């Protein structure tokens, strides 16, 4: 159902269609179209087998050309397809450019789905015609945006859209974000695609630096299953149609805070929608000597299969957590470590807290959302990673993903 309260930035149009990339009758091809060229910034997967659209996207960002249209297909990753995959990206981009009467360099392509299969170029080309036709449909923008968000889903149970309005000294601007992701979620980044769109005017290099900082605080701090995808892309577009050009330090800071909020909410949605997930858990390490050490411990706990299955079973097995803390590769003083489930102190000084009752810990783990706080009491730095539980359904989903 559409959420009419979501802030949608001006100067963008959206479309989502079924073109036949998936056997079932579901939306599988999306278009994001700006009314004018937008400044573009992007962050991509660090996987050493980048998909063809990632390779082409990096090249496009290096060239510094503005982006006006984004075509996203689900059902096929166009990954591990060799040079032919890049040829196919170019072919699809050419067709869309011609259909929209735009220069080829302003077309950005993303893909998500099964790895190792050739991109069905003819099917997508037919879908491009459907997309351009649907732009003329008299759909409310909220519904068109929702169709685009649904078209990029793979194993997602729900679409993910967030929008915020930001007040600046020059007037209001809006940031609207949409994303997909449910499995293969692990920094850096996840099997996720995210698009952060704004009607603000902003320098491209400043936008790139902002995006990198925001991604490091959000999409790079989530984990569902510890697997890194070949296709991860976060793309930010700012088309300036609001007439507000951000140059003052205070305005740029406000914009980055808005970008961060949108990315945080999308990140939370991705973890909450994790394949088979029933729990959303914040792993927070405080009192570390260095932020890097806090991060190592966070990731060790967040990615532990034993910890995640205990969360699913609502088993307050703090021994699994403390074991992960101990093997994270960080020098710690075991006698200083405290662990809490929300406000329930479980471990004090590396030992079971004398006032801890198992029933209290289990009550916290019965909640859909909770926090595990690990206090090293050794410094001032901290780090948080958002994770999910590991369930029977996760295995079922991934055991027959291609069937």
Residues serving a catalytic function are 191
Please count the CA atoms within 13 angstroms of the CA of 220 that sit on its side-chain side. 17
Kind of pairing between the strands at 233-238 and 193-198: parallel
Cα–Cα distance, 373 to 220 (Å, whole number): 19
Cβ neighbours for 112, distance < 8 A, ≥ 6 positions apart: 72, 73, 74, 77, 152, 154, 180, 191, 193, 231
Question: Tokens 């996720």 correspond to what residue?
Answer: 192
Cα–Cα distance, 277 to 271 (Å, whole number): 8
Cβ neighbours for 141, distance < 8 A, ≥ 6 positions apart: 8, 13, 14
DSSP E strand boundaries for 313-357: 338-341, 344-348, 351-352
Q: How many CB atoms within 10 Å of residue 364? A: 18
Which of 301, 292, 302, 277 minimizes the C-alpha distance to 386? Answer: 302
What is the Cα Rg of the chain in Å?
A: 22
| Tokens of residue 101, six digits | 């009467």
Q: C-alpha distances in angstroms, 251 versus 167, 218, 261?
A: 8, 21, 15
Q: What is the largest CA-CA distance in the chain?
A: 71
């Amino acid at each position: 159902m559409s959420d009419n309260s979501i802030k949608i930035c001006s100067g963008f149009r959206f479309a989502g269609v079924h073109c036949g990339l998936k056997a079932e009758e579901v939306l599988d091809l999306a278009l994001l179209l700006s009314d004018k060229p937008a400044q573009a910034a992007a962050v991509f997967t660090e996987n050493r087998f980048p998909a063809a659209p990632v390779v082409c996207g990096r090249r496009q960002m290096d060239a510094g050309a503005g982006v006006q249209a984004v075509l996203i297909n689900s059902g096929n990753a166009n990954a591990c397809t060799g040079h032919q995959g890049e040829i196919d990206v170019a072919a699809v981009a050419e067709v869309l450019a011609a259909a929209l009467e735009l220069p080829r360099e302003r077309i950005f392509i993303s893909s998500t789905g099964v790895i190792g299969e050739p991109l069905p170029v003819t099917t997508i080309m037919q879908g491009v015609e459907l997309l351009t036709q649907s732009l003329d449909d008299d759909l409310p923008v909220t519904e068109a945006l929702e169709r685009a968000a649904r078209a990029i889903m793979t194993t997602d149970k729900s679409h993910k859209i967030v929008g915020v309005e930001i007040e600046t000294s020059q007037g209001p601007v809006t940031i609207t974000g949409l994303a997909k992701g449910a499995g293969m979620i692990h920094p850096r980044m996840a099997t996720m695609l995210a698009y952060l769109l704004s009607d603000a005017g902003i320098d491209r290099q400043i936008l790139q630096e902002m995006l990198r900082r925001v991604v490091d605080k959000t999409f790079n701090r989530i984990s569902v299953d510890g697997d890194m995808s070949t296709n991860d892309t976060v793309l930010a577009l700012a088309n300036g149609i609001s007439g507000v050009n951000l140059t003052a330090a205070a305005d740029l800071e406000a914009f980055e805070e808005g970008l961060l909020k949108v990315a945080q909410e999308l990140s939370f949605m991705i973890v909450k929608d994790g394949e088979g997930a029933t729990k959303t858990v914040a792993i927070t390490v405080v009192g570390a000597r260095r932020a890097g050490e806090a991060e190592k411990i966070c990731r060790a706990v967040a990615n532990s299969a034993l910890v995640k299955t205990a969360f699913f079973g609502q088993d307050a097995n703090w021994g699994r957590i403390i074991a992960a803390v101990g093997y994270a590769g960080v020098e710690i003083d075991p006698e200083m470590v405290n662990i809490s489930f929300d406000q329930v102190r479980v471990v004090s000084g590396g030992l079971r807290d004398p006032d801890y009752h198992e029933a209290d810990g289990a009550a916290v783990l019965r909640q859909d959302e909770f926090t595990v706080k690990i206090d090293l009491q050794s410094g001032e730095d901290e780090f948080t990673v958002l994770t999910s539980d590991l369930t029977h359904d996760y295995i079922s989903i991934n055991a027959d993903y291609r069937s």
